[in-house]
Amino acid sequence: MNQRLTLLLFAILLHFCQVGYTQQSSKTIHQTFTLDGANKIVVNVVGSNVEMRETKGSRILCEVTVKLTVANDKLLDFVCNSGRYDLEKTLDAATGELTLASKKSNNVIMVKGEECREELHYVFYIPNTVKFANNSTIQGISKD
């Protein structure tokens, strides 16, 4: 009986230790872009988890979900508000191609001497009147 109780307490302790290591902060940021006469869109973003969804209308909505491996909401707010995940819009009027690209190269985030990993998930809502260029430099594209 005593051995079972010890084993049960050990299992509970192990569970709480795992929960402590997997805590993370998460926040979703939105950006909208006008088409400005573009008929094709190119996306060059930092990250590999990207979805493209068709929508009605004339604007592009980008939804970026940022997850940090550190459960620190103030750090997450600072990083998100610093423009780290903002996209730049460039229009080539000659080809009608609109490019959305990551603004900055993202340096590693260090917290107390440890690297803080970030996970980015992009969802682009693109008007159904515009084509998505397959030569975009992102991986893992799924068009829903």
pLDDT tens digits, residue range 94-119?
999 999 998 766 778 888 888 888 89
Domain that holds residue 138: 24-143
Q: Is residue 52 part of a domain?
A: yes
Q: Is residue 112 part of a domain?
A: yes
**Cα separation of 22 and 68, whole Å?**
10
Give the model's pLDDT for residue 47.
74
- Are 32 and 60 in contact by the 8 Å Cβ rule? The answer is yes
Q: Is residue 12 part of a domain?
A: no
Q: Is residue 35 part of a domain?
A: yes
Q: Is residue 34 part of a domain?
A: yes
Q: Is residue 114 part of a domain?
A: yes
Give the model's pLDDT for residue 1.
57
pLDDT range class, residue 46, cuts 50, 70, 90: confident
Q: Is residue 9 part of a domain?
A: no
Total domains in the fold of the chain:
1
139 Cβ contact partners less than 8 Å away, ≥ 6 residues apart: 48, 50
pLDDT range class, residue 5, cuts 50, 70, 90: low
Of the two residues 134 and 62, the one the predictor is more confident about is 62
pTM here is 0.73
